A = this chain, B = another copy of it.
Amino acid sequence: MRIILSYLKFNVSLNQQNNQFMFSKACEYGLKASIFIASNSYDGERVSLKEIAKEINSPEAFTAKILQDLVRHKIINSVKGAYGGFEIPKNEISSIKLSQIVNAIDGDSIYRGCGLGLHVCDENHPCPVHDQFKDIRMQLKDMLQNTNLEQLALDIKSGASFLKL
C-alpha cells in the first residue's frame, strides 16, 4: 500500500503552482472591468456591477471592492441608486492608461521593484539579474503607460478581442 500511495504523490512542488503571470487577480479584474466599462461608456451606456462581473467572469462581491478602489482613485465614476452603475466620461476614455489602473491596484513595484526582491533596484547595487530585467521592466512600463482604454475598448466592441474564457 505504501508503494501504491507513493506513486500518487506526483505533485512534489512546494506551492500549488503560481498561476499568476504579472498581475494580481484583483488587478486583472480591474483591468478587464475598466475595459468593459469603457467600451460601454463609449456608447453612453452605464453598466452595473452585475453586468460587469458576468461579462468578465469574476466574483461579484470581490469585483465590487476593486471597482470601489478605482472609483476612489478617480479612474472610473460610480452612480448609486436605481439605474446607477459605473461609467467613464467619454472624453476621458482615451486618456486613461493601463498604468493608472495597475498602479491603483498593485502599486508601483512592477515599475520599480527588483526582479529578485532586493529592497531597492539600484544601478550601484544590482542583483544578479538586474541588467536582464531592466529592459523587460522598462518595456512593460512603456507599454502600460502608452496603452489607453480607448484602443482596447474598440477591439472589444468589434469582437477583435475577448474578456473571458
Chain A residues at the B interface, C-beta cutoff of 8 Å: 12-15, 17-28, 31-32, 35, 65-66, 69, 72-73, 98, 104-107, 109-110, 113-119, 125-130, 132-133, 135-137, 139-140, 143, 147, 152, 155-156, 160-165
In angstroms, Cα B156 to Cα A137, docked, is 22
Partner of A15, one of B24, B114, B133: B24
Tell me, rounded to whole Å, the shortest Cβ–Cβ distance linking A148 to chain B.
11
Interchain CB contact under 8 A, A116 and B32: yes
Number of identical protomers = 2
If A23-B115, A132-B143 are given as contacts, then 18 extra A-B residue pairs at C-beta distance below 8 Å, sorted by A number, are A13-B69, A13-B105, A13-B107, A14-B26, A14-B105, A15-B26, A15-B105, A17-B109, A21-B109, A25-B117, A32-B116, A32-B127, A126-B161, A128-B156, A132-B147, A133-B143, A135-B139, A139-B139
